[in-house]
A = this chain, B = another copy of it.
Amino acid sequence: MTGEITTLPDIDPLLLRILPNPRPGTPPPSSKLVFGKTFTDHMLTVRWTSAGGWEAPVIGPYAPLSLEPSAVVLHYANALFEGLKAYRSNTGRITLFRPDMNMSRMNRTAERIALPTFSGPALIELISELVRLDASWIPQEPGHSLYVRPTLIGTQNALGVGPSTSALLFVICSPVGPYYKGGFKPIALLATTKHVRAAPGGIGSYKLAANYAPGIIPQLEAAMEGYAQNLWLWGPEHFLTEVGTMNLFVVLRREDGATELVTPPLNDIILPGVTRDSVLSLARSHSSTPLPGLPENFIVSERAITMPELVSASKAGRLLEVFGAGTAAIVCPVDRIGYLGEDIIVPTGERGMGPVSEVMYREIVGRQTGVIPSDWAWVVKE
């Protein structure tokens, strides 16, 4: 009909086809798990074309993808991903941690490189189905989980640089052990003045594949100098931005005696991390619902912070903690920052983690594992 507006199909969980893996594998012993090396029996795939929209979702055996050598993802990095975790309690209850946050970020990132967007609730439903199907792969030991990796790639088989006319969304799952084995291990950072992770007007606030490979060499360079990760700076002022692939938090004692938790504000160069948001939400709730272990006079600031401010706080004995925040580690304490040829020593406390990070770790893990009831835990299976 002339003038009729047609809407292309969104992802529809009602159309899901499940092809069970005829040769299911055996999960390795939890003690042998290495991040992202072992995958479960099944994967979810959903294809998209610009002419037909999203096709019927399929959960089938974990298997290689067939991609034309001209597929744009291999040439122009039309690719993005998310990372979230499913937890299994000792009662068998399975939850996902804040998957709605991942879905909205994934859609926002897809728009940035002209890949198709989709219904977040629909993909959560499909991921839940996948996780239920492979539930036996979720390790139950404390600190263990199933890492869920949704990925979206452009599959157009033509080399023109433009919006991909076809795409593939897939979700794979990998059982993972705890980030810290046998106590917290603070890491040393190199505040790099040679490389930048992102720039204003660039893509640093999107979870694009393009933001990751470029960080490998800077990380190796930091390692050569004895530092575990980069502290990414920006501009002649040396603004602190992120830590490796994590968001950054700094705890300062202000001159008025208050304890201030600082993280750089969301803008073009900061990834809106789910753990970052969780830390901020918990820290802000402290004024109405006190969290045991946090100081009374506690201020939460999303504000710019520079290396000179950090150095001066350190010299005045007012630098209390520095930590990274991300899905893999939850919080990652920092004990040393190399900057312009000198090391700034950061307190970490006796247990390897400062008081604020320790509270954040406890509160987030509690909500992930169900010890602390929370609407951040989305029930996949009771």
Contact = CB atoms under 8 A, between A and B. Distances in A.
Given A35-B159, A112-B214, A172 B208 contact: no
Interface in A158-189: 158-163, 170, 172, 174
Contact of A199 (B151, B157, B199): B199
Given A77-B212, A79-B75, A214-B203, A160 B36 contact: yes
A214 B202 contact: yes
Contacts of A62: 69
Interface stretch (A122-130, A215-223, A317-325, A344-352): A215-223
Interface in A103-151: 111-114, 147, 149, 151
A34 B158 contact: yes
A74 interface: yes
Contacts of A196: 199-202
Given A158-B34, A219-B162, A212 B76 contact: yes
A28 to B, nearest CB: 14
Contacts of A202: 195-196, 199, 202, 214
A76 B153 CA distance: 11
A151 B70 CA distance: 10
A23 interface: no
B214 A113 contact: yes
Interface string A194-214: 111011111100001111111
Contacts of A70: 36, 39, 172, 174
A37 interface: yes
Contact of A66 (B66, B72, B160, B245): B66
Contacts of A79: 74-75, 77, 213
B64 A69 contact: yes
A85 to B, nearest CB: 13
Residue of A43, A70, A202 with highest tally of chain B CB at under 10 A: A70
Nearest to A206: B214
Contacts of A153: 74
A283 to B, nearest CB: 28
Residue of A39, A79, A151, A195 with highest tally of chain B CB at under 10 A: A79
A67 interface: yes
A67 B155 CA distance: 13
B64 A209 contact: no
Contacts of A174: 70, 159
Contacts of A159: 35-37, 147, 149, 174
A361 to B, nearest CB: 22
A57 to B, nearest CB: 15
The 3 lowest CB-CB distance pairs between A and B, nearest first, are A36-B159, A199-B199, A210-B210
29 contacts: A36-B160, A37-B158, A62-B69, A63-B69, A65-B67, A65-B68, A65-B69, A72-B213, A75-B151, A75-B209, A76-B209, A77-B208, A77-B209, A77-B210, A77-B211, A77-B213, A113-B213, A114-B220, A159-B174, A161-B212, A161-B213, A161-B219, A163-B216, A195-B201, A195-B202, A198-B199, A199-B199, A202-B202, A208-B213
Given A74-B153, A161-B219, A196-B200, 9 more contacts: A37-B157, A75-B151, A75-B209, A76-B209, A77-B79, A114-B216, A154-B213, A208-B214, A209-B210
